[in-house]
Amino acid sequence: DGGITQSPKYLFRKEGQNVTLSCEQNLNHDAMYWYRQDPGQGLRLIYYSQIVNDFQKGDIAEGYSVSREKKESFPLTVTSAQKNPTAFYLCASSTTILRETQYFGPGTRLLVL
Amino acid sequence: RKEVEQDPGPFNVPEGATVAFNCTYSNSASQSFFWYRQDCRKEPKLLMSVYSSGNEDGRFTAQLNRASQYISLLIRDSKLSDSATYLCVVNMGTGGFKTIFGAGTRLFVKA
């Protein structure tokens, strides 16, 4: 089955700790995205990548980092600099970034201990 | 003014009712439009794209009004399973990437 997978489903972070959220797709999509969703709010773009070895900051990139070493993978690291990381994190992909439908993974819920 | 605005609801309707959601967008250069459905604590899933000519998929009809800069979603004969949050999505499609998600409209369909 083609699709997007995210792991883990739930993640707990301690103060001062960096954590990495996994996102993998086997749809052969060039573009991948990371969003954050807070209760009652729309999705906000953290980072996006048009192609391997390229990525761009979104609207709320501070405190986050990404890499795109493989077409299939776009991991997101939440660093200790992100002071309010508790949220629902969603990874998505599309064929390209130009007006294309985005398909989402099941999400990761990050909670701070 | 937000770039994409939706009525947050919630909309509480009985089964069989017709319900309509509206979404306004601020950038007249916007090029593509979508409605997504998001169930509680789940990821958004594409419901339908919205075309200038309007489009229909079973009980769902989407319309685009470029002059007034809004899109709409009509659900006829509501089912209990339609209960969800409906997200309006607007893609600017200009140089670079700019896709904006609305905050969503919550729908509860009751027996």
Q: Is there a contact between A30 and A100 (Cβ–Cβ < 8 Å)?
A: no
Q: Does B45 touch chain A (CB under 8 A)?
A: yes
Give me the mean pLDDT over the B35-42 stretch. 95
Per-residue tokens: A78:
């939440």
Residue B79 has pLDDT above 70, yes or no: yes
**CB-CB under 8 Å, A101 with B46:** yes
| Residue B51: predicted pLDDT | 81
Nearest CB to A101: which of B31, B49, B100?
B49
Residues of A with a Cβ under 8 Å from any B Cβ are 35, 40-43, 45, 48, 50, 56, 88, 90, 97-99, 101-107
Mean pLDDT score, B24-41 = 91
Mutation target vs A (from B38, B43, B46; most A CBs, 10 A cutoff): B43
Highest average pLDDT, of A54-63, B47-56, B96-105, comes from A54-63
pLDDT tens series, chain A, 113 aa: 669 999 999 999 888 899 999 999 999 999 999 999 998 788 999 999 999 999 999 999 999 999 999 999 999 999 988 889 999 999 999 998 776 789 999 999 999 88
**Predicted local distance difference test score (pLDDT) of residue B95:** 58
CB pairs under 8 A between A and B: 42
**In terms of pLDDT, which residue wins out, B8 or B35?**
B35
Contact A47, A89 (CB under 8 A): no
Judged by CB atoms closer than 8 Å, whether chains meet at B99 and A45 is answered as yes
User: Looking at beta carbons, which residues of chain A come within 8 Å of B49?
Assistant: 101
Q: Give the Cα separation of B29 and B39 in Å (integer).
A: 30
> In A, which residues are within 8 Å of B99 by CB distance?
45, 102
| CA distances to A67, A87, B36, B74, B103 from B109, in Å | 42, 27, 17, 14, 20
CA distance B34 to B14: 26
Q: Least CB-CB distance to A97: which of B41, B45, B97?
A: B97
A-facing residues of B in 62-101 (CB < 8 A) are: 87, 91, 93, 96-97, 99-101
